[in-house]
Structure 1
Amino acid sequence: MRNLTKVFIFSVILTLIFIIWGVLSPDGLADSTAAIQNFIQIKFGWFYLLSATGFLIFAIYLIFSRFGKIKLGKDTDEPEYSTLTWFAMLFSAGMGIGLVFWGVAEPMYHFYGPPAGAPAETTESARLAFRYAFFHWGLHPWGIYTVVALALAYFKFRKGAPGIVSAVFYPILGERAKGPIGYVIDVIAVFATVIGVATSLGFGASQISGGISYLTNIENNIVTQLIIIAIVTVLYMLSASTGLSKGIKYLSNTNIVLAIGLMLFLLFAGPTNFIMDLFTTTLGSYIQNLPSMSLRMSPFEHSPWIQSWTIFYWAWWIAWAPFVGTFIARVSRGRTIREFVIGVLAVPTIFGALWFSVFGGSAISLDMAGKGIMDIINDQGMEVALFSVLEQFPFGTAMSVIAILLISTFFITSADSATFVLGMLTTNGSLNPNNSIKFTWGIIQSAAAAVLILSGGLQALQTASIIAAFPFAIIIIGMIISLLKALQAEVKKK
């Protein structure tokens, strides 16, 4: 722990202040974050929509641009990981735990509470439910991740810069990127990472607790969730101590095997033809309506739906961007910009769409057949949504146990990856931060998740995520400007 960086010191102080505030005054933290969230969502919802859409457009532009052949590294570098392992690692870090949590719950919520103007519990609301599930988990979030990861990977591996966010700004800030301005940028990235990961860990803990409660007599309450966080903290810190090419790599591959296995089971045990017809139809509808959904607000209806769902999601993804972006950058050395962008955008988007079709499609099919899936969710919480669906099929209990194992491994992988990234961001971009730094961040991010649960459950997690995302959205815009400037300068030299 010698020679600690200023970014590490300032970041630890800031997050500890946040945690202590939650311990001493959980209601005060919840009220304060809610007030700030309401202000940001009402006044700057348009900013999130325009930013996320702009990031996606820029990512797509890079595929067809003259920059597509540039390698993220030296011209002779080859990819460090196989394509399958690469997909597994970026997917596990990017949204695996959230996809399991919302795979059933989100389509059900949209089915019963569709966007303004659409009648609930109808064929139209079902179509909208899946179109917006594809939208919220599709190209836009991965477009955000792509931009951040690409900028970090380019400057780290192509230009030899430190693997930290402030280093990306050197083309526009010069030496000032290494001073106070750079420190502020990096501290914001670290804080957004801690809160963004804490949000996901909170969801994961509540779903594991809900699943255990659903299968046993153990009560699903805050105490159970805190115990789960404590246990998983020990497990992911053990994994973190083994390094990137062991713990995270093996867990990521395990995640993909379990996820695909669970999805294939439900695909063939459930209404197969309905699911595949739903996937095909909704994919076309999603692509057709992508431009209008990307810029849709509700100025005349005064509906809170957009703020509660789309704007929350865009803020959530932006809050995750420094973490996921840094991690994807770290495992993407040797790939061309075109290969990188296509891989990061297309593969997870298609997999996510199929996931929602299988799990959400099975849920709505059961609910429309009178199985009362939404009644179970309303009675026991959204964290039991997945298990209420699996119970309706053969080997339901066994599948629920596998689902809990999948959530746990996603939980461990996300937290493990986050400690690695936080270590990089606070050690001037070290590709292999020491274990003491990683363990420090592991304890801090678990403590943040516990405090957010104590101060207001999932609502406090959501509000804190949106707040942390706002300043980082501005930083991403600066990253794009800087990356473009560097790419143009490189092409001119040739």
Structure 2
Amino acid sequence: MKKVTSVFWITLGITLALSIWGSIAPSQFEDSSVTVMDFISGHFGWFYLIIVSFFVIFCLYLIFSPYGKIKLGKHDDKPEFSYPTWFAMLFSAGMGIGLVFYGVASPVSHYIKTPPVAEPGTVKALEDALRLTFFHYGVHAWAIYAVIALVLAYFTFRHDKPGLISAALEPLFGNAMEGVWGKTVDVIAVFATIVGVATTLGFGAAQINGGLSYLLGIDNAFWVQLVIILVVTVLFMLSTYTGLSKGIKYLSNTNLVLAALLFLAVLILGPTMYIVNSFTNTIGTYIQSLPIESFRIAPNDSDEQQWIIDWTVFFWAWWIAWSPFVGIFIARISRGRTIREFLSGVLIVPSVVGFLWFSAFGMAGIQAQNSGVDIAGLPDEQALFGMFSNLPFSVVLSILALLLISTFFITSADSATFVLGMQTTNGSLSPSTPVKFVWGFAQSAIAAVLLYTGGLQALQNALISAAFPFSIIMLLMIVSFYKALKKDKKQLSK
């Protein structure tokens, strides 16, 4: 613990204070989170749409610009991980539980429960359901991650800066980032990471509980979710102890194998041709509607605007809150790749895999709904298991899904402890085990408190609130990065 900085103690203090507040005054904690979330989403929903669309445009510009050939590292640096392992690690850290949790729930909800425009249950609602799910999990989400990862990898491996968010702002603010302002930036980044990861852990615990409830009749209750969090905490602590090159690498590859098995099972046992045709059709409508959907805020329709806040703004906030963690982790595993190679890989490959996933699970869920299984009537965390009940070998598939959720859970928490340790030890690429253990317990505690105070809704409230200040830091990081990039390009051309 000797190498920890003041960022460690300040953020840990804030985390403990919120945990205690949520434990002893849950109603007050929940009311406060709702007030903050309502203000931000009501007044700044438009800001989330514009800033995330800007991230996409900026990434595309870099891919096709001369800057794309600049390497994230020194001239002779080679990538540490092969392409398959690299994709597996960034995919496991970047999406994970979200894909499994919303794989059935999102398309079915858009189709039958809360379509934004069309009448529920119509062909139009069905087509919109998959297209909007693609939108929420496509290039916009990965552009958020890519921006943070790119900037940090560039400064860390090319300019030998510490792997800190504040260090990436030095070209813009100079020595000011070495004082109070730099510490403030890093505290915001660490806290956003804790809330983002804790939210995901909360979703994971709720879905494991939902699966056990659906299969075995176990109570769908907070105490069960608390036990799940405690068990998984022990497991990811064991993985944390083994380090990046062993624990996280092996778990990421395990995730990929389990996810591939589950995907192939649903594709083969489900409505195969319907899934393939829906995927092909939706790719076209997704690309076609991307400019309009990116900026749609519906100022003249309050119901549609509320849908956008509940879904699009929530997802953009989720990705932004996760971006310090995922971005730092992706940066750590991407040394030696060019900017063009890096951005093309991060934007396209995970997006396409996500589209395939949602096509299979979403269309299988909608077929089950139309066949008489009330998927829409189930809690979101049980929708996946309701879909399995309409397929052969449903129990086997459910067990496989629970294993996948658990390994995603462990990988996300494991990766997050590494990143939090890195951010609170002055950017160390090998943070000590005790530091990682502290952050492991802290994020599990926040996940438990959020579930205790308001369940999944409290998780969403916390996300939107935590993401807002960090979104402004992300804009400043892009300006700082571009300033340094132009200087770098001039030196390369000499």
TM-score band w.r.t. shorter chain: over 0.9
Task: Give the distance between the partners of 2:477 and 2:29, measured in 1 at CA.
Answer: 31
1:177 Cα deviation (Å)? 1.1
Task: Give the distance between the partners of 1:178 and 1:335, measured in 2 at CA.
Answer: 29
Please name the residue that 1:150 is paired with: 150
Contact 2:3 2:425 (8 Å CA) reproduced = no
Please name the residue that 2:475 is paired with: 477
Secondary structure, aligned partner of 2:285: helix
Please name the residue that 1:119 is paired with: 119
Please name the residue that 2:407 is paired with: 409
1:136 Cα deviation (Å)? 0.3
What is the CA RMSD across the aligned residues, in angstroms? 0.8
Secondary structure, aligned partner of 1:427: coil
The reply to whether residue 397 of structure 1 matches residue 403 of structure 2 is no
1:113 Cα deviation (Å)? 3.6
1:3 Cα deviation (Å)? 4.2
Distance 1:392 1:113, change over 3 A: closer
Which amino acid is the alignment partner of residue 420 of structure 1?
Answer: F
Please name the residue that 2:454 is paired with: 456
Q: After the TM superposition, list the runs of 4 or more consecutive aligned residues in structure 1 that deviate by more than 3 angstroms.
A: 113-117
Please name the residue that 2:309 is paired with: 307
Please name the residue that 1:84 is paired with: 84
Which amino acid is the alignment partner of residue 203 of structure 2?
Answer: F
Unpaired segments ≥5 residues, structure 2 = none
Task: Give the distance between the partners of 2:6 and 2:160, measured in 1 at CA.
Answer: 21
Secondary structure, aligned partner of 1:456: helix
Contact 1:114 1:129 (8 Å CA) reproduced = no
1:372 Cα deviation (Å)? 2.6
Unpaired segments ≥5 residues, structure 1 = none
TM-score (norm: length of structure 1): 0.98
Please name the residue that 1:340 is paired with: 342
Deviations 1:390-443 (A, max 9, x none): 122111101100100000000000000000000000001110100000000000
Task: Give the distance between the partners of 1:49 and 1:374, measured in 2 at CA.
Answer: 28
Which amino acid is the alignment partner of residue 320 of structure 1?
Answer: W
Task: Give the distance between the partners of 1:83 and 1:481, measured in 2 at CA.
Answer: 30
Please name the residue that 1:106 is paired with: 106
Secondary structure, aligned partner of 2:218: coil
1:373 Cα deviation (Å)? 2.3
Contact 1:114 1:125 (8 Å CA) reproduced = no
1:114 Cα deviation (Å)? 4.5
Deviations 1:301-332 (A, max 9, x none): 11210110000110111000000000000000
Secondary structure, aligned partner of 2:471: helix
The reply to whether residue 222 of structure 1 matches residue 218 of structure 2 is no
Secondary structure, aligned partner of 1:374: coil
1:217 Cα deviation (Å)? 3.0
Map 1:124-203 → 2, pairs under 5 A = 124-203=124-203
1:368 Cα deviation (Å)? 1.6
1:239 Cα deviation (Å)? 0.2
Please name the residue that 2:43 is paired with: 43
Task: Give the distance between the partners of 1:417 and 1:103, measured in 2 at CA.
Answer: 22
1:116 Cα deviation (Å)? 3.9
Which amino acid is the alignment partner of residue 328 of structure 1?
Answer: I
Deviations 1:75-106 (A, max 9, x none): 10000001100000001011111110000000
Task: Give the distance between the partners of 1:4 and 1:412, measured in 2 at CA.
Answer: 24
Match of 2:373 among 368, 371, 374: 371
Contact 2:373 2:386 (8 Å CA) reproduced = no
Contact 1:108 1:360 (8 Å CA) reproduced = yes
Which amino acid is the alignment partner of residue 405 of structure 1?
Answer: L
Please name the residue that 2:322 is paired with: 320
Moved more, 384-393 or 338-347: 384-393
Please name the residue that 1:23 is paired with: 23
Task: Give the distance between the partners of 2:46 and 2:4, measured in 1 at CA.
Answer: 39
Secondary structure, aligned partner of 1:266: helix
Contact 1:168 1:479 (8 Å CA) reproduced = yes
Which amino acid is the alignment partner of residue 69 of structure 2?
Answer: K
Which amino acid is the alignment partner of residue 182 of structure 1?
Answer: G
Task: Give the distance between the partners of 2:179 and 2:267, measured in 1 at CA.
Answer: 54
Task: Give the distance between the partners of 1:63 and 1:117, measured in 2 at CA.
Answer: 35
1:214 Cα deviation (Å)? 1.3
Contact 2:109 2:115 (8 Å CA) reproduced = no
Contact 1:115 1:306 (8 Å CA) reproduced = no
TM-score (norm: length of structure 2): 0.98
Task: Give the distance between the partners of 1:398 and 1:112, measured in 2 at CA.
Answer: 27
Map 1:59-78 → 2, pairs under 5 A = 59-78=59-78
The reply to whether residue 266 of structure 1 matches residue 238 of structure 2 is no
Please name the residue that 1:427 is paired with: 425
1:35 Cα deviation (Å)? 0.6
**Paired residues, what number?**
490
